[in-house]
Amino acid sequence: MGIQKILNAKAEYGVPVKIYTNDVDEESMTQLRKMAQLQFIHSHIAVMPDVHLGKGATVGSVIPTKNAIIPAAVGVDIGCGMNAMRLSLKAEQLPDNLSALRNAIERKVPVGFEMHKQIKAKASTLAPLDKRLKLITDKHPALKRMLRHFDSTWQKQIGTLGGGNHFIELCLDENDDVWVMLHSGSRGLGNVIGTYFIERAKKEAQNRFGHVPDKDLSYFAEGSNSFEDYFEAVEWAQEYAYENRREMMRLILEAIRPLLPSFQMTKEAINCHHNYVQKELHFGEEVFVTRKGAIRAGTDEYGIIPGSMGAKSFIVKGKGNPDSFCSCSHGAGRRMSRSKAKNLFSQQDLIAQTQGIECRKDKGVVDEIPSAYKDIDEVMANQTDLIEVVHTLKQVMCVKG
């Protein structure tokens, strides 16, 4: 059985907070107590075992709201999530040295702040996105001033990785089958949309639902123009992130195909968000569910829970647990900040902890060292009530932004 403890916030703070771990730092607890005071929370807040301090709201939290949405809870990497695909290849069919595969992917998929020199996505992908985006920017022209070369940039960034904790990996499962897995979101335009509406919410009156304990928890009330505009924009960014991962997967397969024996993609393919908001039915009522660092784990619904660089990852199937609002963790979760990891660990530590994995081992990615993250096995043990493991994956190659 997994762990569940309840911060019974009802008397002092507001709604209860159900937490699926005992490993919660005090800063995160303070943040959760503030979130629990919001009067538009439906039933309770669920907190996943990879919980850690976040900007705006706690990472690993599932926040069901009635008649309101908190833009900062969704965050600025709107639609960030995972894509994984199993190939018809076995471990022994991979080359002994994977550096050529990593180099081929890095040549094909821009990382960090880079983008494609020309638009790679098909017109059939771009046209509907472009049409919907124009409706958004016509109402909010300031968005176009927040991103250089706005119209070309968002199109050239489809099929790009980004930086931070985003990655592309080759993995092996328990049967020695080869998987391609990646983690990315809505890139520069998603960031612009998130930033713009977070600041807009902070400037709007916050009196419809009583006291707001933190400016970062500023909301849009359903029925207002801002609410409708934000929901339209956030849905667009989520769709963009989904298409970004699809295009990236296509480019990765195109890059590695000449270097490997002939292969096919299997039917096991998953593309899921873990920073997003959508309407769902819970405890008999339709609510807006914001998952900030959590994935949906409805009954028999497949998801991806990655570990840190050099650790295990998991393909999982949801159990539809109502107390978690049909959710589970989105990864291992950070144990420390990026700056603390850089101060605490050296390049040599990174080399030691990623031994046997073809990946960057320079100072620029020390903040992504496995020790900066929680133990993925412990995280998984704490959510056996939420998901069952279908495949256990081990990274053999990793591309970082």
% of the chain beyond a pLDDT of 70? 97
Check pLDDT > 70 for residue 227. yes
Whether residue 333 is annotated as binding a ligand: the answer is yes
To the query of whether residue 330 is one of the catalytic residues in this protein, the response is yes
Per-residue pLDDT band at 372 (split at 50, 70, 90): very high
Whether residue 63 is annotated as binding a ligand: the answer is no
Whether residue 110 is annotated as binding a ligand: the answer is no
Per-residue pLDDT averaged across 135-163, rounded?
Answer: 97
Say what the pLDDT of residue 8 is: 52
User: pLDDT tens digits, residue range 335-345?
Assistant: 999 999 999 99
Per-residue pLDDT averaged across 225-233, rounded?
Answer: 97
Q: Mean of the per-residue pLDDT values for the chain?
A: 94
387-400 and 45-52 beta bridge pairing: unpaired
Say what the pLDDT of residue 163 is: 93
Distances (CA, A) of 44 to 22, 61, 64, 128: 18, 11, 8, 37
Q: Which helix (H) or strand (E) element contains residue 270?
A: strand 265-273
Per mean pLDDT, which range of 67-71, 201-205, 308-312 is the poorest? Answer: 308-312
Backbone angles phi, psi at 45, to 5 degrees: -110, 135
At 133, which amino acid appears?
Answer: L
Whether residue 191 is annotated as binding a ligand: the answer is no
Per-residue pLDDT averaged across 200-229, rounded?
Answer: 93
Per-residue pLDDT band at 113 (split at 50, 70, 90): very high
Report yes or no: 81 and 295 within 8 Å, Cβ to Cβ: yes
Per-residue pLDDT averaged across 161-165, rounded?
Answer: 93
Catalytic residue among 44, 116, 273, 330: 330
User: pLDDT tens digits, residue range 43-54?
Assistant: 999 999 999 999
Per-residue pLDDT band at 7 (split at 50, 70, 90): low
User: pLDDT tens digits, residue range 344-361?
Assistant: 999 999 999 999 999 999
User: pLDDT tens digits, residue range 15-30?
Assistant: 999 999 999 999 999 9
Which residues make Cβ contacts (< 8 Å) with residue 233, sequence separation at least 6? 136, 140, 193, 197
The domains of the chain are located at: 5-335+373-400, 337-371
Whether residue 97 is annotated as binding a ligand: the answer is no
Say what the pLDDT of residue 401 is: 79
Check pLDDT > 90 for residue 13. no
Q: Angle, to 10 degrees, between the axis of helix 187-203 and the axis of helix 225-256?
A: 160
Say what the pLDDT of residue 15 is: 92
Whether residue 116 is annotated as binding a ligand: the answer is no
Whether residue 52 is annotated as binding a ligand: the answer is no
User: pLDDT tens digits, residue range 28-77?
Assistant: 999 999 999 999 999 999 999 999 999 889 999 999 999 999 999 999 99
User: What tokens does 38 get?
Assistant: 């919001």
Any alpha helices (H) in 221-333, and if so which ranges? 225-256
Whether residue 169 is annotated as binding a ligand: the answer is yes
Of residues 165 and 256, more confidence is placed in 256
Say what the pLDDT of residue 123 is: 95
Say what the pLDDT of residue 87 is: 97
Say what the pLDDT of residue 308 is: 85
Global pTM value: 0.95
- Using DSSP's 3-state secondary structure scheme, residue 190 falls into helix
Check pLDDT > 90 for residue 172. yes
Number of helical H runs and strand E runs in the chain = 10, 17
Whether residue 16 is annotated as binding a ligand: the answer is no
% of the chain beyond a pLDDT of 90? 91
Check pLDDT > 90 for residue 268. no
Say what the pLDDT of residue 11 is: 41
For domain 5-335+373-400, the question of CATH label 3.90.1860.10 is answered with: yes
Report yes or no: 60 and 186 within 8 Å, Cβ to Cβ: no
